[in-house]
Structure formats: C-alpha cells, structure tokens
Amino acid sequence: MTDPLSSWHRLAGGCVLLDGFHALKHAVRFGAEVPVAVTTDRRAALALAEELAPDVQDRLDTLLTEVPEETYRSLVPRPHPTAVAALAVRPSRQDNLRTLELPRSAPVVVLDQPRNLGNAGAVVRLAAGFGATGVVTTGTLDPWHPTVVRGGAGLHFATVVERLTVEELPRGPLFALDPEGEDIRGVKLPDDAVLAFGSERSGLSAWLRARTDHLLALPMRPKVSSYNLATSVAMALYHWSAGGGASAP
C-alpha cells in the first residue's frame, strides 16, 4: 500500500486541500478526483459517513487512511473538528472556460474584484446550492484559495469556479446588482443571465457598470447603505429561482 504521507507531499502542490469531513463528502459526491484522504479516526469518520452520507459511504471507506494525530496536524493549517483531510485535483481552466461558453440553463455569478475570502466561499456554496453554472471572479483574489475552499464546504466541484480577466467574462445578458438600480422584484432574470456583483469596498467597477444591460437593486429600507456581498448573491439567485418579475426588454 502507498504511504499516504508521501502521496500527500508529492501531490500537495497541484491539488486542493479538502478540510474536514463535509468538504470531502461534497467533493466526492460531485465527482472530484481525490487521490488521498486521511483521518485520525477511521471508525468515527465512517460512522459520520453512514449517518450523513450513505450515498458515498463505500467510496469514503476505500479512500480514507488512518494516520497518527501528529501526522494529520502536520498536513493542515489548523485541525478540523472531524479530523478528516484530503487532496482533490483542481478542474482545468480550459475545461472551465469551455463549460462557461456552452449554452446555459442557469446563471453565472460574477464577483467583480472581491476582497473577502469568506464571502467568496459563501458565494460558491450558494451557487452550488442553486445549481448556478458557475462563479467567476475578476481581480486578484484566488477563488481556489484554501480559505475560499473551506468556506465553500467542498462545493467548488459542484459548479464552475474560475478567475478570469474582464475580457474573458462569459457572454450573455449582463445584470449588475447595485443599490441604485431598478427594483429587481419587477424583473425576471433569464436562465442565461450573467449576474454581476461589486466589491465589498467600492462596489461595481466602472468597466462593468458601463457594459451592463440592466442595473438592478435589491429592496432595502432608506438609510441602509448596502447588503453584504454574499447575502446579495443569495437574494438575487433566490429571485432567479423563484422566476418572479417580467422579462427584461
């Protein structure tokens, strides 16, 4: 049998850390290639699988190797309560770009120069939950940063996640969210919409604002400046999923 520690060190550079049982469960469920997975307590991890993820229980049984506590601690930035960690192969940029160019049956979320890794992770989780085609970021934040993957609970494998230049943004009707826009409740979001959100600090960039087809606002009481970025994505995706409003001209 291959030593999990040497596999880990050989693969770590080119793979994504799945931190905790739930991240591993989601990644396996959505087809991630997982070359190595470790835990300090196989029995406890498999009991969790039996209780919470019977659909992938056999796969986890095959994947998980028990390692000593100190080995596990040497592999992760901070120990997770479930004491499970794994490495997964990151989907290729070429495959992601190809998927984003295909005709879409669900929107793509664009985060325009986001800054907060926790927000980006929460948005990936939302996009996966709503069945969005993908989450695209512009700017310097890496949407596959370990903190984003941790926030996304392993759901980076359930939707396309990629950082693009503004020139590479997917085609489709562009709906940008901004408190100064038209009330979103009167507008039906099409399935091929590109839904763009501004950065936490400065909102939508001038570039996106100039190219947007529709500027939409989430309902908000006077004197409140704005919502949190991930919360705004949640409301917009919910509005799309509910199918409310009239088709945009």
- The residues of the shown chain that bind ligand SAM, judged by CB under 6 A, are 177-179, 197-198, 200, 202-204, 217-218, 220, 226-229, 232
Q: Nearest distance from residue 228's CB to ligand SAM, in Å?
A: 6
> Which of residues 40 and 232 has its CB atom nearest to ligand SAM in the complex?
232
Q: Using an 8 Å Cβ cutoff, are 180 and 215 in contact?
A: yes
CA distance 26 to 29: 5
**Minimal distance, residue 156 CB to ligand SAM, in Å:** 21
Shortest distance, position 221 Cβ to ligand SAM, whole Å: 10
**Around 184, how many Cα atoms within 13 Å sit in the side-chain half-sphere?**
25
As given in the structure block, the two tokens for residue 52 are 């919470």
Rg, the chain, Cα only: 20
Structural contact between residues 93 and 162, judged by C-beta atoms closer than 8 angstroms: yes
Residue 124 makes CB contacts below 8 A (sequence gap 6+) with 135, 143, 148, 151, 152, 155, 156, 159, 161
Nearer to ligand SAM, 80 or 239 (CB): 239
Query: Nearest 5 degrees, angle CA 94-CA 110-CA 240?
Result: 115
User: Length of the chain, please?
Assistant: 249
Q: Bridge partners of 12? A: none
Residue written as tokens 């049998």? Answer: 1
Query: In the bound complex, what is the minimum distance in angstroms from residue 186's beta carbon to ligand SAM?
Result: 14
- Nearer to ligand SAM among residue 30 and residue 227 (C-beta): 227
Q: Which is nearer to ligand SAM, 83 or 111 (CB)?
A: 111
Minimum CB–partner distance for residue 233 and ligand SAM (Å)? 8
Residue number with CB closer to ligand SAM (78 or 201): 201
49 vs 234, beta carbon nearer ligand SAM: 234
207 contacts 166 by C-beta, under 8 angstroms: yes
Report the residue number, 19 or 178, with the smaller CB distance to ligand SAM.
178
Residue 7 beta carbon to ligand SAM: minimum distance, rounded to whole angstroms: 41
Q: Considering the complex, what minimum distance in angstroms separates the CB of residue 33 from ligand SAM?
A: 34
β 108-111/194-197 pair status: parallel
- Cα separation, 19 vs 146, in Å, equals 9
